[in-house]
Chain A
Amino acid sequence: MSLTDLSAFTSLPGPTVRAVKDQFHGDLLEVSMGPQHPSTHGVFRMVVTLDGEQIVKLKPVFGYLHRNHEKIAENTSYLGSMPYTDRLDYLCSMSTNWAYALAVEKLAGQAVPERAQYLRIIMAELTRLVNHSCLVGFLFNDLGTSFTPLLYAFREREKIIDLFEALSGSRMMCNYQRFGGCRVDPSAEWLAAASALVDNFPRFLDEYERMLTGNEIMLARTQGVGRLDPARAVNAGITGPVLRASGVDYDLRKVDGYGFYPRFKFRVPLGAHGDTYDRYMMRILEMRESVTILQQAFRELPAGPIMDPKAKLRGFRPKAGEAYGRLESPKGELGFYLISDGSPNPYRYRVRPPSLINLTLLEEMCLGHTIADAVVILGSIDIVLGEVDR
């Protein structure tokens, strides 16, 4: 390709390539990054056009983990796809379960007892700790610190996952929520162990932050990198910590007040710059807020049933109608849209995946940065391919 002929690139759909007018400039190079690349956190592929090391165009390519989750769910009963929702975001199965249960309960007008509501909040916030500690660990891996911070984060994650295993029988595929409650009631020992773990969690955060947050390389690599403009982020449907890092106050726990969240006192951290550093700090601060939510929940957890006595699991047929249920998963707004025609299977089952939609502005965030920065920016968006490709 000649130095100035860019027609091959500009004819492609999407945002156009920055034209290189300088005769002494090098050729553009197209690199296919992924799907088998460790920094893409799965089988995600970016087709990157590079000018030297600088990104001038980036096109994400999806579908390597596509198994048509929605079609499978339309061909099984409502309860039958509950374990399958674990496989969407396999780091946060508890909150994915809850999102699905929330949508079905909205569709069928199902009530949930008080203890189950508290248990759901406990599980969802523990899941947030799991997800965010994984993320901050992997982010340092992407920055090039081979494995040590990740192992520190994984040590904490492992403790929570052990609790999940003790409760639900599975470390990651918990299958815990049901329509109208939860599946297992935790014992007093379990609650004591979980409460002690949560009380100790800020010590891990302090240690982690002391070692890494002020690190010079970390600051140089993340501050001002991958900035996201708040107005554009809202228009592109970005949600979760990525949106709040840009300073937009939109947390569904406050806005929708689903479950018993209005009973809890917590703050929603907001960023000021919308760069990778803010997105990292957002996770650390959210973990601290999750700890306060969990402490309140353990203190106030009422006794009582964990399933609504009117709940029907076998032969469950909601009335014809539709419902969209959404909640604040650790990655953003996770929604389920269900249409029922009165049969035991959903007529339409749709997952609104936050991981996929948060990638909408990936190209804009990466343009002008180096390819090594793209790895860090992608790491700070926090995607799980089970949810992106479904």
Chain B
Amino acid sequence: MESLEQIRDRLLARFPAAVIALVTNPGAAAEHSLLLDPAVAREAAVFLRDDPTLRLDYCSNVTGVDWPDREIVETAKVTLPDPAGGPDKVVEQKSTRKVPGYLEAVYHLYSMALKHGPVVIRLRTANRTDAVNLPSLTPVWRAADFQEREIFDLYGIVFEGHPDLRRLLMWDEFKDHPMRKDYVEPDDYEWEPTAHAEVLERAKAHQAAAAAKEAQP
């Protein structure tokens, strides 16, 4: 199989306007991945599936990953003039820089026809709150069907073009996305509003009336 750089270059030749980057994996496995531009992801996926030398016809695994907002504290040495007129002072200044978070979908692709792989592709959302849409790759690989539904359920990525985007594991009325890193468990998963307070008020009124009736001679 060709190297990931060659695949990237062929994709870039095909989609010149797209941003396609190589994400290196520093670990022992050294399985690097391609970060695809969501705008061309569907066409790029079809290319990867149908290209005669790649033929990545089998999408094995689809994973959601949450990367929350991070704050990076940087210290820099700055020379400041002394207001009293003395020599300049070197002061350490701390500045915090915010790295915006994003949600990520990772696809592991293999070829059953040519028996090679994996080619790992990643898609990233713009942020974690209001721009969480990604193109669905289920029309390309049906194998992503349940897995994208699971990511929608547990991470909240909205896959556009998915034929049946519903929650998979949590119940339909559930509100949050439990696999996110900042998820807070509710005190009681099964709490639901009941008429208890109302019924109690009515019962008290009834008891008072009954007591008054009994007190009458």
Contacts and interface: CB of A to CB of B under 8 A. Distances in A.
Nearest to B26: A321
Interface string A212-237: 00000000000000000000101111
A311 to B, nearest CB: 14
Nearest to A347: B65
Contact of B145 (A106, A232, A360): A360
A339 B65 contact: yes
A318 B179 CA distance: 22
B146 A356 contact: yes
Nearest to A105: B28
B40 to A, nearest CB: 21
Contacts of B60: 237, 326, 333, 335, 352
B178 A68 contact: yes
Contact of B143 (A107, A235, A323): A235
A338 to B, nearest CB: 9
Could you say which of B30, B60, B144 has the most chain A C-beta atoms within 10 Å of its C-beta? Answer: B60
Could you say which of A109, A322, A323 has the most chain B C-beta atoms within 10 Å of its C-beta? Answer: A322
Interface residues of A, number: 43
Interface string B61-81: 101010000000000000000
Interface in A44-70: 62-63, 66, 68, 70
B27 A323 contact: yes
B57 interface: yes
Contacts of A66: 169-170
Given A234-B57, A236-B143, A389-B169, A319 B27 contact: yes
A323 B106 CA distance: 12
Interface string A107-140: 1110000000000000000000000000000000
Contacts of A323: 27-29, 31
Contact of A337 (B28, B63, B146, B169): B63
Nearest to A340: B27
B108 interface: yes
B4 to A, nearest CB: 14
Given A13-B166, A109-B28, A322-B31, A360 B63 contact: no
A348 interface: yes
Could you say which of A68, A361, A389 has the most chain B C-beta atoms within 10 Å of its C-beta? Answer: A68
B146 A359 contact: yes
B61 A337 contact: yes
B191 interface: no
A248 interface: yes
Interface string B190-213: 000000000000000000000000
Contacts of B65: 339, 348
Contacts of B144: 237
A318 B25 CA distance: 13
Contacts of B165: 13
Could you say which of B31, B108, B112 has the most chain A C-beta atoms within 10 Å of its C-beta? Answer: B112
B47 interface: no
Nearest to A243: B112
Interface residues of B, number: 39
A322 B25 CA distance: 7
B26 A320 contact: yes
B178 A237 contact: no
Nearest to B147: A357
A321 B142 contact: no
B27 A318 contact: yes
Contact of A352 (B61, B142, B167): B61
Contacts of A350: 61, 63
B164 A13 contact: yes
B28 A321 contact: yes
B146 A360 contact: yes
A236 B145 contact: yes
Interface string B140-169: 011111110000001000000001111111
Could you say which of A237, A321, A360 has the most chain B C-beta atoms within 10 Å of its C-beta? Answer: A237
Interface in B167-198: 167-171, 178-179
Interface in B36-91: 57-61, 63, 65
A79 B142 CA distance: 34
A70 B169 CA distance: 13
Contacts of B26: 319-321
A267 interface: no
A106 to B, nearest CB: 5
A304 interface: no
Nearest to A14: B164
15 contacts: A14-B164, A63-B169, A63-B171, A71-B179, A235-B57, A235-B142, A318-B27, A320-B26, A321-B28, A321-B30, A322-B31, A324-B118, A333-B60, A339-B65, A359-B146
Interface of B: 25-31, 57-61, 63, 65, 106, 108, 112, 115, 118, 120, 141-147, 154, 163-171, 178-179
